[in-house]
Structure 1
Amino acid sequence: MARSIPNYALYGDQAEPAWSNSFNFEWIPQRSAPYNWEIQPHVHDAFIQLLYLTEGGVDVQLDNMRQTVSAPCLLLVPAGTVHSFRFERDTNGPVITATQKPLESLAAVVMPELVATIRTPAVIALDGATRYTEALMPLFLAVEQESRIHARGQVAVGMSLLTALLVQVSRIHVSHQPTTAPIHSRKAAQIERFRALLDARFRTRCSVESYADELGVTPGQLTRLCREVLGMSSLDVINARVMHEAQRDLVYSTITIQQLAAALGFEDEAYFSRFFRKHSGQTPKEFRRLALQQVAAPADAVGAP
């Protein structure tokens, strides 16, 4: 007789309807210690689980894949995935269980490519701190806080936080994709460092030379690296980051053009306006007016002739 795989909402609990609970938060020892740190193979029909091991390690099975991994690491277990865990006794970290369909629906609207991440089992070793891994624990703790209260809009807040958390997981997963040549991963890591520096300093109008010096390469090497990996020069990458911020502030704030120019490190409004027009084909005022008209337009009017 074939052995059936138990179907649980949370391990050891009888399966519940998908609508009965939108998300649950706990720490690994809460659920695993009572079972001697070993969770037998089982499946959740409606729930996705995300585990973030901060201490210890685990022997994990996800469908037909078995792997032993040490903290720090992420385990993504979509609904319908047969899974089991054998944790080391000092293992700790947060676990979130959530109804998967609402998350997929939300992802389909705000980031369609995130749906594939939600549906794909994954074991992601975190081999170093990045701007993405540093964002994980604050988001987990925010979900924990929301799970502890019973207030209006709890599901909306929880699902939004979970979506943000899964976006970080997706970013980490993409950055960890294996490549056939080790040099490719080194170049990707250098680009990631450049982007992190750029996020921190783009308002100061640092030169290409300044970023290159910080990265330990020459300006020419940084430009060649950007062209190879991103398809544009290092200066174009810097300017694109400034334009992204400028356009966002023009649409979503009431800051004046003069104030925006100063905030982005430009000497004066005229210099900023020339820069903006060169890269967008519009003056900042023209861009703001047209963008706000588009935002305010009825949904069925967008794209109408």
Structure 2
Amino acid sequence: MRRIPNYDLYGESAQPPGYGAFNFEWIPERSRPNDWQIAAHRHDALLQLLYIRGGGGHVTIEGVRHAFDPPCLVVLPAQTVHAFAFSPQIDGLVITAAQRPLEALVEVTAPGIAAICARAAVIPVRGADPSVGMLAPLFALLEQEYRSGGRGHAASGMALMAALFVHVARLSDLAAAPAGAGGNRRAELLRRFRELVAAHGREHQPVAFYAQRLGVASAQLARVCREALAQSPTTVVNEHLIREAQRELAYSALSVKQIAHAMGFEDSAYFSRYFRKQTGLTPVAFRAAAHRQWTQEP
């Protein structure tokens, strides 16, 4: 079976999981020497964010090709298999950061934003929303911090990344909602719903709980989720729980029973059945597969 290379950046052997990294590059720096083609690979512990300002090409994420339509953002969480084909005219940047420290920082400062760090996406950058105007200054500060190499530059870079992902999440919500005032209201509703899920997902609350907190009927929340996300509210909650459980299984030393309790499941056997129904693997099998990937040589 062909192995998917595990890289630190585009073509460098990966450091052990949890490696603290913060890197800023312009895409041509790395892609030109590789003839503008980056073969399928993954990063076990690193998240990448690309900003495509101009040029062409595509990214293939888990076997699905997405053509660049600049300006756009590309979010690639750790363990996502991806490949690039850039045109020689490509204009853009790529930022690499250790995913787990970034997620931990975001969970504390903006818990409703954490989900955007865990979901691969291609996000258009359009319109006059204030978040569009915030991207360039944040990218400039991130590059300055990285190039300076000054004391605490990694910590400062992570703080800037947390601020950046707030705006990435807002742009993602806008892209998921129709244009106009109604679309803005839907985007705000989705943003608040995700924040509530991040805060209360482990409590296993019913959809009615979230609808009441949002001040809407359960049917309205379900309709907005179906139209904007092609998912039910229950699916949104389930996906959040599964992402949390997967991160704990992959990166922590907690037992399956301890993770089950941390996820709000009183019965670890039921948690295992739930996890398998959602992912096709038992928690033990998922953890074993993640650890095998870590030990594979590129």
Pairwise TM-score range, normalised by the shorter structure: 0.5 to 0.7
Residue 185, structure 1, aligned to residue 184, structure 2 = no
* 2:127 counterpart residue number: 128
Alignment partner of 2:111: what SS? coil
Structure 1, unpaired ranges of 5+: 179-183, 193-229, 232-305
Shift of 1:21: 4.2
Q: Give the Cα separation in 2 of the matches to 1:167 and 1:114.
A: 6
Q: Give the Cα separation in 1 of the matches to 2:185 and 2:101.
A: 34
Q: Give the Cα separation in 2 of the matches to 1:190 and 1:158.
A: 30
Q: Are the equivalent residues in 1 in contact too, given 2:126–2:132 (CA < 8 A)?
A: no
Shift of 1:48: 0.3
* Cα distance change on mapping 1:177 and 1:145 into 2, 3 Å: same
For residues 91-102 of structure 1, what are the structure 2 equivalents within 5 Å?
Answer: 91-102=90-101
The one-letter amino acid paired with 1:113 is G
Q: Are the equivalent residues in 2 in contact too, given 1:25–1:144 (CA < 8 A)?
A: yes
* 2:115 counterpart residue number: 116
For residues 8-47 of structure 1, what are the structure 2 equivalents within 5 Å?
Answer: 8-47=7-46
Q: Give the Cα separation in 1 of the matches to 2:117 and 2:46.
A: 11
Higher-Rg structure is 1
* 1:60 counterpart residue number: 59
Larger CA deviation: 126-135 vs 93-102: 126-135
Paired positions, count: 189
Alignment partner of 2:101: what SS? helix
Shift of 1:129: 3.8
Q: Give the Cα separation in 1 of the matches to 2:107 and 2:55.
A: 35
Alignment partner of 1:54: what SS? strand
Shift of 1:152: 2.0
Q: Give the Cα separation in 2 of the matches to 1:132 and 1:11.
A: 28
Q: Give the Cα separation in 2 of the matches to 1:166 and 1:38.
A: 27
The one-letter amino acid paired with 2:55 is G
* 1:84 counterpart residue number: 83
* 2:140 counterpart residue number: 141
Residue 165, structure 1, aligned to residue 159, structure 2 = no
* 2:205 counterpart residue number: none
* 2:155 counterpart residue number: 156
Among all aligned residue pairs of Structure 1 and Structure 2, give the percentage whose two residues are the same amino acid: 44
Shift of 1:60: 1.1
Shift of 1:173: 0.3
Shift of 1:127: 3.0
Shift of 1:118: 0.2
Q: Are the equivalent residues in 2 in contact too, given 1:44–1:79 (CA < 8 A)?
A: yes
* Cα distance change on mapping 1:129 and 1:87 into 2, 3 Å: farther
- The CA deviation string for residues 200-257 of structure 1, in whole angstroms up to 9 with x for no partner, is xxxxxxxxxxxxxxxxxxxxxxxxxxxxxx98xxxxxxxxxxxxxxxxxxxxxxxxxx
Report the TM-score, using the length of structure 2 for normalisation.
0.60
The one-letter amino acid paired with 1:187 is A
Q: Are the equivalent residues in 2 in contact too, given 1:69–1:125 (CA < 8 A)?
A: no
Shift of 1:165: 0.5
* 1:271 counterpart residue number: none
Shift of 1:188: 4.0
Q: Give the Cα separation in 1 of the matches to 2:25 and 2:159.
A: 18
Shift of 1:40: 0.7
Q: Are the equivalent residues in 1 in contact too, given 2:124–2:171 (CA < 8 A)?
A: no
User: What is the root-mean-square deviation of aligned Cα atoms in Å?
Assistant: 2.1
* 1:284 counterpart residue number: none
* Cα distance change on mapping 1:190 and 1:118 into 2, 3 Å: closer
* Cα distance change on mapping 1:110 and 1:16 into 2, 3 Å: same
Tell which has more relative contact order, 1 or 2 (C-alpha 8 A, sep 6+): 2
Alignment partner of 1:113: what SS? helix
For residues 209-228 of structure 1, what are the structure 2 equivalents within 5 Å?
Answer: none
Q: Are the equivalent residues in 1 in contact too, given 2:174–2:184 (CA < 8 A)?
A: no
Larger CA deviation: 63-72 vs 16-25: 16-25
The one-letter amino acid paired with 2:64 is M
- The CA deviation string for residues 276-305 of structure 1, in whole angstroms up to 9 with x for no partner, is xxxxxxxxxxxxxxxxxxxxxxxxxxxxxx
Alignment partner of 1:109: what SS? helix
Structure 2, unpaired ranges of 5+: 187-213, 216-298
For residues 266-305 of structure 1, what are the structure 2 equivalents within 5 Å?
Answer: none
